Amino acid sequence: MAFMTEILEKQKVSGPECRNRMMPVQDALDILHGKWKLLILMSLSDGPMRFKEIQRQVEGITAKMLSKELKDLEINELVARTVYDTTPVAVEYTRTPYGHSLKKVIDELHAWGLQHRKRVMRKSN
Amino acid sequence: MAFMTEILEKQKVSGPECRNRMMPVQDALDILHGKWKLLILMSLSDGPMRFKEIQRQVEGITAKMLSKELKDLEINELVARTVYDTTPVAVEYTRTPYGHSLKKVIDELHAWGLQHRKRVMRKSN
DNA sequence: GTAACCGGTTTTCCTACGGAAACCGGGTTT
DNA sequence: AAACCCGGTTTCCGTAGGAAAACCGGTTAC
């Protein structure tokens, strides 16, 4: 029983500072959650794209999801939508400067995913 | 109509290299998706934690979700579970070295979330 | 003229995520 | 003995995510 109180005593640490660190991450996740948002942003790395173009790049996404996700991204000003008044209408999606501010996040995720893939390969051998 | 073909011509670019860049990100997202996994990992930054301790740190998570997410994290070797054969049983969760390899990802997400929060505050004034 | 493209919307349907609460055996505290 | 801790599991349930396909008016290429 002395053991129990001992092990229990150890945990008191890590007060609310930890929770404070979590909040911003939670904020970010709130905006970027789901399978698609980051991939859509990636597809817009090299310049404006049109709807079907994005759909072709982001493998597996349906028109409905793309439509919805683009709206979300637009609301959060990560992507801008431009309509050209031609016949027929041409619509372009552009990653905003704010959207580009996610570059590091995406890069880190990319790097991690890359080494994770290698690790998995290694294990399966 | 010349305009249309012109605008259409511009898009051919960004071939499959873009899709190749997406795959690792997709892999990473596959493992880290959901509201909780990264937050749980964060709560284990400062050392081992017990179930209820984690639940107290990760605000809003239910026992069921925590239980499920910990299992997922364990399967992917981001978290290790240690059972101490005491009475009553004590169970500790530890972030593995592999779990710590996500530090940069979390840091970047944290940094972005922080400035995003500032940005939102600025706008609402 | 007809097939295929454009930028989506709408409908239907199913599944996964995720919350609330009860519950389990056991232990400790008072 | 009552009340509270531990580490979860189980049940129930609502909602959001996501897939498939039809559909719209209009344009363009063959």
Task: Read off the amino acid at residue A67.
Answer: S
Q: Is B70 (CB) below 7 Å from strand C? A: no
Give pLDDT, residue B107: 96
Q: How far apart are the first and last CA of chain A?
A: 46
Task: Read off the amino acid at residue A118.
Answer: K
Give pLDDT, residue A86: 80
| Residue in chain A lying closest to B59 (CA) | A19
**Interatomic distance B24 CA / D9 C1' (Å):** 35
Checking each nucleotide's C1' against the CA of B33, the nearest proves to be: C17
* Mean pLDDT across A68-87: 91
Checking each nucleotide's C1' against the CA of A81, the nearest proves to be: C7
pLDDT at A11 over 60: no
At residue A79, φ and ψ (nearest 5 deg) are -135, 145
Give pLDDT, residue B15: 52
State how far the Cα of A44 lies from the Cα of A57, in Å rounded to an integer. 10
Checking each nucleotide's C1' against the CA of A63, the nearest proves to be: C8
User: How many residues does the structure list for chain A?
Assistant: 125
Report the CATH number of the B17-124 domain: 1.10.10.10
**Interatomic distance B9 CA / D29 C1' (Å):** 15
Q: Any residues with CB less than 8 A from the CB of B49 and at least 6 apart, and which?
A: A11, B43, B57, B92, B93
Give pLDDT, residue B16: 56
pLDDT level of residue A12 (50, 70, 90 thresholds): very low
For chain B, the domains span 17-124
pLDDT at A14 over 80: no
Give pLDDT, residue A121: 87
Q: Give chain B positions within 8 Å (CB) of A28.
A: 109-110, 112-113, 116
Burial tier of A49 (Cβ tally within 10 Å: 0-12, 13-18, 19+): buried
Task: Read off the amino acid at residue A16.
Answer: P
- Cα–Cα nearest to B56, from A65, A67, A14, A66: A14
State how far the Cα of B35 lies from the Cα of A68, in Å rounded to an integer. 20
- Cα–Cα nearest to B43, from B18, B22, B69: B69
Give pLDDT, residue A1: 41
Between chains, do B43 and A18 touch, taking CB under 8 Å as contact? Answer: yes
Question: pLDDT tens string for chain B (125 positions)?
Answer: 434 444 334 344 445 567 788 999 999 998 998 899 999 999 999 899 999 999 999 988 999 999 999 999 999 999 999 998 887 888 999 999 999 999 999 999 999 999 999 998 887 76
pLDDT at A67 over 80: yes
pLDDT at A40 over 60: yes
**Interatomic distance A64 CA / C13 C1' (Å):** 14
Q: How many CB pairs under 8 A join A and B?
A: 157
